[in-house]
Structure 1
Amino acid sequence: MTTRTIQGEKNLQNIHQASKDGIGGSPLRPDGNLKVRGEFAYSSDLWHEDMLWGTALRSPHPRANILSVDVSEALKVPGVYAVLTHEDIPGTKFYGLEIQDQPALAIDKVRYHGEAIALVAADHPETARRAMKRIRVEYEVLTPITTEEQCLDPATYGYVHEPHEYKSHGSGNVCHSQRLVSGLGVTDEVRALADVIVKGSYEVGMQDQAFLGPESGLAVPAEDGGVDLYVATQWLHVDRQQMAPVLALPEEKVRLTLAGVGGAFGGREDLSMQIHACLLALHTGKPVKIVYARDESFFGHVHRHPATMTYEHGATLDGRLVFADCRIVLDGGAYASASPAVVGNAASLGHGPYVIPNVRMEALALYSNNPSCGAMRGFGAVQACFGYESQMDKLATALGMDPVELRQLNAVTQGDLMPTGQEIDAPAPVAELLQRVKDMPLPPPLDPENVDVRTLPGALSNTSHGEGIVRGIGYSVGIKNVGFSEGFDDYSTARVRLEVIGGEPVAMVHTAMAEVGQGGVTVHAQIARTELGVEQVTIHPANTEVGSAGSTSASRQTYMTGGAVKLAAEAVRTELLDKGRRRYGWTHRDLALVGGKVVSASAGVLVPMVDLLGDEAIDLTREHHHRPTEPFDRETGQGFGHVQYTFCANRAVVDVDVELGLVKVVELTAVQDVGKALNPLSVVGQIQGGCTQALGLAVMEEIVVRDGKVRNASFTDYLIPTILDTPPIPVEILELPDPNAPYGLRGVGEAPTVSATPSIVAAIRNATGLALTRVPVRPEHLTGTL
């Protein structure tokens, strides 16, 4: 693996000068060794004496009316403590991230395959499952609404939700829509300005987050009538906000503590088992644990929206873009989840990181009887990037231009306006990223006469011995927003405490940030060490006793909660130094905390921090709010909608067996501007992880849905990249500070997932000459057997 860090015209001096475990260093994760040794406690490992096990009965139909539910036989099973339906819900029966359209338990109908209908609590998980199978449900099975044509013709095919049933952003079976028009839009007069016009239709399949730790948690009823929930989630406070009305409890009586999370990627942003476990615990008066089986996990969380897209681009003969006309249709499935935000991202970013004078865009999410879709890494931008980057390659071919040069010619830079009218007011080194990724060394060329066949497509399965292998190279670049957008008050809270323990100054950091693998627990400690000059930092368990940290999504946690930790630590430092000024009469203006001491650049060490603190502790809480954004105009798409933009460029090298339709990604290179690498090792890991998920979408990952039913709800049939599928991923990091962000940083985790998929498909096209308008690319797409 090759990793380089470039800081504009600077070098690595400030990283080398940084504290080994402070900002700019790469201390190892505190949970890393435990996870590698298999000793880390995940939420599925939770245990409580006298606890019960919960499970749910789920619908075998994607669309049906429920005529009756009979739980009497289930209640007769020895060891069963409760069987609940929607009639046992004490509060409101609906919840949702943005639109409260999802019932905690199905009421009179089911809208997707796997929807929960009833709950069982028993003294053993197998007992709960046996009882669940005795519940009798009488259905009136209906024809599911699953295609765009059916969704957009409710007069013929019906409604997933009755009209005006919920406060929605759309109408009929349209959950949400967003239009965007910039410049002159796309008219006949604008088209006439283009010398070359290319059109394309593209499709993205339904990808799963495929986290290895299934949904799980433990609900414990409390003496005050409330409930304590220990759960793997991405957003403790919004979980509580949705749960409390259903449980008919005030929020302060619904207390959440983060349990060990085995991956998330957006799939834990919505509720899964949270309400169900708490309902059973409060009903039985006993702790209740729920752990999903793998197939239930596929039904129990949202997925990446599948998309169909049409694009039309016009350019002059010298390669300057004139217009882009785009339509993106996202299948949101049965419930809204995060679909409105996904649509906003697709519409505002769906033209790519390019200067395009005239843009017309329509993006919409549909209600259907397919599985619900919501947040997944890079949401909205991933689907769009495959569309617009495929168009860039098609346009380069039509113009006879190098595809990288075409992208560079039209690349945005600082000071340009997005089609939304928002100015890019921070570095936007898109052309430089492309040049750097192009200039990185290529792997050795393919030599079929002298090659280890184990490195070829399919060779590990003994299906290929070097025949029909061709190599291709492809490029792409993408754009992603950071943080929540469109006027959402996206804030985070942090509490920092400084005190003397065991004769040393020790800082404690307490936030509600969900650590889902992104490394926030490491970075927060680095920030505290840097701002307070201490070595010992403890991270308090994340829970709802402190203010919200927002969701661990949208590449926002280091920016937002890291920013809150910085503010809180700075406030603690200020109070400590003020205490010293009052006690000792210091007049120095150059005070700092270094190595556990108060120092002055002009006077040297003034006092050890332990002497200044004594028996007192300084304990302060601060909130970090980013600069305000505003909703996009619904008809024009204009508005200052995003906090920050982030960019990544990729180059993929692939070998393709054109006879068998097999693909091996030989190398997947990434160059990304991260603003400031607070932990360079973690940053590289995030970029490589994002590239790997993008590889999965490119060539193997898809939930197969037929007539509304999931056909491959297992890791036997839903394939994710293993170590044998993952190529070397050389990474080059640029550090061009964003003046609006803490430490100048940019969100990192999503951008490579956005940009890498199109580079892999471009490389396959380069190798085969095929159009390839759909991902994942399957063997039959390459052999002509589809």
Structure 2
Amino acid sequence: MAGTTSGIPTNVTQGSRTRGGIGESTLRPDGTLKVTGEFAYSSDMWHEDMLWGQTLRSTVAHAEIVSIDVAEALAVPGVHAVMTYDDLPAPVKYYGMEFQDTPVLAHGKVRHHGEPVALVAADHPETARRAAAKIKIEYRELPLVTDEASATAPDAVLVHENRDDHHSAHVPHPNIVHHQPIVRGDADAAAARADVIVTGEYTFGMQDQAFLGPESGLAVPSEDGGVDLYVATQWLHSDLKQIAPVLGLPEEKVRMTMAGVGGAFGGREDISMQILASVLALRTGKPVKMVYNRFESFFGHVHRHPAKLYYEHGATRDGKLTHMRCKIVLDGGAYASSTASVVGNAASLSVGPYVIEDVDILAVGLYTNNPPCGAMRGFGAVQACFAYEAQMDKLAAELGMDPVKFRQLNAMEQGTVMPTGQVVHHPAPVAELLRMVKERPLPPLRQWETAGGPADLRALPGGLSNTTHGEGVVRGVGYAVGIKNVAFSEGFDDYSTARVRLEVVGGEPVAMVHTAMAEVGQGGVTIHAQIARTELGVQQVTIHPADTQVGSAGSTSAGRQTYMTGGSVKNSCDLVREKVLEIGRRKFGAQQPAWASDGLLLEGGKVVTAGGEVLAALADVLEDEAVEIEAEWRHFPTEPFDRVTGQGKGHVQYAFAAHRAVVEVDTELGLVKVVELAVAQDVGKALNPLSVVGQIQGGTVQGLGVAVMEEIIVDPKTAKVRNPSFTDYLLPTILDTPTIPVDYLELADPEAPYGVRGIGEAPTLSSTPAVLAAIRNATGLELDKTPIRPEHLTGL
């Protein structure tokens, strides 16, 4: 089935006649509060006797810490504690998602600009800031590692001198976090058969997640010696496993509750202020609140990996791809975070959604003294898509072929074998998605013109700055398509847990769904209620606040939550329904033989047969009983990629999106106006069509940002961040956002709950190269770097 932004929600079916079930565009329960400003985010939390925490961060990128003097800070009235590495409460003083390589506070030396060195707790935030500024640190600067050449030279300075992790024995240099080759077929022999070979060297800039709610939380010491932590995060249980050892506490004494999250996009997967606030709370015996300002936020979380990508493709004269060779170098910065997994994604998805039998691939992640990088929407696939789609346009131009037809000719489909040897078991409608965006009517030409009046400046490059009235403005159209894995990969035990309770309240059956899922804007709080209504046939559903008092739901990332935690909610609901029917059979089976049927349903607060016969009201079945079940749900197992060949069944599911970008370019000033970004995507099953469209449009805009404006600038001589503010780090506003028409297919994945497919990441991939392709089409320039700046278009 297909859907479109103009057809919500006529294209869906419902499993239950209960209102608000799957397939309906139900509204978010937190939506009104958020748009009216009444929603409580983590930064809004308050405790009567709380202190304020402040972090002192390094002013240099790589240096030995010669001395730290905290005397003046301790003497400031209102200061309750000052802490350095030596004051941490437990023998374990390092943490990390995949490698435990990150010190809570710098020890011996600092490895990047903005690394935490000391902490202050005071009775007022300004007091804490003034006291932190009085801490005196003497540094002895060390040589910098900033790129592949300086990281992998035989005499390179080591970012981590005594490295010991599960990749350290398998990499060719200690400054390489992970490297993943993928070899299939014979790329050299295939290259000899090619009629056309194109090469490219591409540069992808460092992007920030730029969530609106900065890192914040409240740590409250408890009577049992533990701590209650209220925090905005993406993965409560991962945080817990890293936090508890550093506090010297068992996990059961670190109780975490999800506070309101103001966006995430991967930047909250890693620890930020959680440990810092907690150690201050335990040290002072008082609640401690920490809220980063925007400047500190740029240093307080990981970013998208900047990358260098080197590609070679070959094709026959009739347009069939012969081979691909590539090397992808990802700068992971000073600490590993999730760099190893990003490398695996970049390598395994580096071919794109195309059939190429012969490949030679290498992806590398580096340790450097640049800012740490980790998870961000698209997770390694974004950088690769930027490069391979530029290559597709180069090949099409060399062959004199239409770029869309060339892509369709080589498009993968269900049954395609990936470069890793894995067979794509579900629909892969790459050619169809390209057709859908290609056939959409184009926006009108010279749309800034008004009948008999002045030009509409808002439709022109430069906008209301009034730089042009259409002189020198050229239109360009470009296409791109991408592939993104869904859920965790490479043998990670990916599961989710849900607790579902069904009881009678005031004579009416009510369901409660309790998971540890982080609601970061993706809409899980809506989907979980829709699943419960559909599976349990009740109208009233309560979503319990997410915390660590229930089993892990995994991270809200990798497009996995609707698939994984949605799957666990469905599984738990199924088990609850079976238990309810068992109770009903026990109570009423003797009087009603129909209770013996296996086709009993819960619908509209009643127990009914498959034929619609009402057997009993749910309230009568349950009476004073409550049914509560907590259960896990897993997808089919994956396996690590072979360290030499890269072969392996490493991914669970793939998502696909295609974009067509229409741009207007002022060729004299180098200004770009993106007029339209049309997108087509396969969503498997639209559980909430309104949310589906919102996710696709949001991901599209994030890809637009990195195409034309977003980049963290790191000084290559000092490794310092030069633009840590929203004044200097540019983001798309509503004035920069084009029309984004959305078409979607619903081609079910037979192994996923309801056939769903991860949605939120795929549109972030292809929107960036589509915009670049359109600008190339308008200007004739090669444009091998992102983001595009005016000087790249004018040569000035």
Band of TM-score, shorter chain? over 0.9
* Alignment correspondent of 1:594: 603
* Alignment correspondent of 2:214: 214
Among residues 628, 640, 644, which one is paired with 1:631 in the alignment? Answer: 640
Among residues 722, 726, 730, which one is paired with 1:719 in the alignment? Answer: 730
Among residues 639, 643, 648, which one is paired with 2:652 in the alignment? Answer: 643
CA separation in 1, counterparts of 2:442 and 2:16? 33
Give the AA of the match of 1:55: Q
Structure 2 spans left out of the alignment, 5+ residues: 590-594
Q: How is 1:400-549 mapped onto 2 (pairs within 5 angstroms)?
A: 400-446=400-446, 450=450, 451-549=455-553
CA separation in 2, counterparts of 1:239 and 1:657? 48
* Alignment correspondent of 2:306: 306
Aligned-residue offset at 1:143: 2.8
Summarize the Cα distance change of 1:236–1:13 in structure 2 as closer, same or farther, 3 Å threshold: closer
SS in structure 2 at match of 1:635:
coil
* Alignment correspondent of 1:238: 238
* Alignment correspondent of 1:613: 622
* Alignment correspondent of 2:719: 708
Q: How is 1:274-285 mapped onto 2 (pairs within 5 angstroms)?
A: 274-285=274-285
* Alignment correspondent of 1:43: 42
- The C-alpha deviation readout for 1:96-146, integer Å capped at 9, x for no partner, is 000111000001000000000000000000000010011010100123211
2:496–2:564 Cα contact (<8 Å) kept:
yes
Give the AA of the match of 2:202: Y
Aligned-residue offset at 1:190: 2.2
CA separation in 2, counterparts of 1:333 and 1:106? 15
* Alignment correspondent of 2:772: 761
CA separation in 2, counterparts of 1:212 and 1:603? 49
CA separation in 1, counterparts of 2:545 and 2:4? 35
Query: Which range is displaced more, 588-597 or 374-383?
Result: 588-597
CA separation in 1, counterparts of 2:299 and 2:691? 31
* Alignment correspondent of 1:68: 67
Aligned-residue offset at 1:626: 0.7
Give the AA of the match of 1:174: I
Say yes or no: does 1:173 pair with 2:165.
no
- The C-alpha deviation readout for 1:313-357, integer Å capped at 9, x for no partner, is 000000000000010000000000000000000000011000001
CA separation in 2, counterparts of 1:58 and 1:226? 27
CA separation in 1, counterparts of 2:190 and 2:464? 53
- The C-alpha deviation readout for 1:266-296, integer Å capped at 9, x for no partner, is 0000000000000000000000000001010
* Alignment correspondent of 1:161: 160
CA separation in 1, counterparts of 2:350 and 2:78? 54
* Alignment correspondent of 1:52: 51
Give the AA of the match of 2:36: R
Summarize the Cα distance change of 1:130–1:357 in structure 2 as closer, same or farther, 3 Å threshold: same
Q: How is 1:546-695 mapped onto 2 (pairs within 5 angstroms)?
A: 546-585=550-589, 586-602=595-611, 604-695=613-704
* Alignment correspondent of 2:269: 269
SS in structure 2 at match of 1:738:
coil
Aligned-residue offset at 1:754: 1.1
1:487–1:629 Cα contact (<8 Å) kept:
yes
Aligned-residue offset at 1:602: 3.1
Summarize the Cα distance change of 1:603–1:670 in structure 2 as closer, same or farther, 3 Å threshold: closer
* Alignment correspondent of 2:592: none
- The C-alpha deviation readout for 1:687-729, integer Å capped at 9, x for no partner, is 0000000000000000000031000000000011110000110
SS in structure 1 at match of 2:303:
coil
Say yes or no: does 1:121 pair with 2:121.
yes
Aligned residues: 779
- The C-alpha deviation readout for 1:545-585, integer Å capped at 9, x for no partner, is 00000000000000000000000001000111111112211
1:4–1:733 Cα contact (<8 Å) kept:
no
* Alignment correspondent of 2:86: 87
Aligned-residue offset at 1:5: 6.6
Aligned-residue offset at 1:442: 1.2
Summarize the Cα distance change of 1:230–1:661 in structure 2 as closer, same or farther, 3 Å threshold: same
Query: Which range is displaced more, 557-566 or 460-469?
Result: 460-469
Aligned-residue offset at 1:384: 0.2
Aligned CA-pair RMSD: 1.4
- The C-alpha deviation readout for 1:7-37, integer Å capped at 9, x for no partner, is 9xxx826259864410000110000000000
**TM-score w.r.t. structure 1 length?**
0.98
Summarize the Cα distance change of 1:508–1:447 in structure 2 as closer, same or farther, 3 Å threshold: closer
CA separation in 2, counterparts of 1:601 and 1:640? 40
CA separation in 2, counterparts of 1:183 and 1:5? 45
- The C-alpha deviation readout for 1:619-647, integer Å capped at 9, x for no partner, is 00110111000000011110000000110
CA separation in 2, counterparts of 1:397 and 1:672? 26
Aligned-residue offset at 1:587: 2.1
Q: List, as ranges, runs of 4+ consecutive aligned residues in structure 1 with deviation greater than 3 Å.
A: 4-7, 15-20, 163-171, 447-451
Aligned-residue offset at 1:163: 4.9
CA separation in 1, counterparts of 2:291 and 2:266? 19
CA separation in 2, counterparts of 1:551 and 1:724? 33
Give the AA of the match of 2:321: L
CA separation in 1, counterparts of 2:792 and 2:774? 14
Q: Matched residues, percent identical? A: 68
2:233–2:268 Cα contact (<8 Å) kept:
yes
Aligned-residue offset at 1:603: 5.8
- The C-alpha deviation readout for 1:45-97, integer Å capped at 9, x for no partner, is 00001000001100000000001111111000000000000001122111100
Summarize the Cα distance change of 1:647–1:12 in structure 2 as closer, same or farther, 3 Å threshold: same
**TM-score w.r.t. structure 2 length?**
0.96
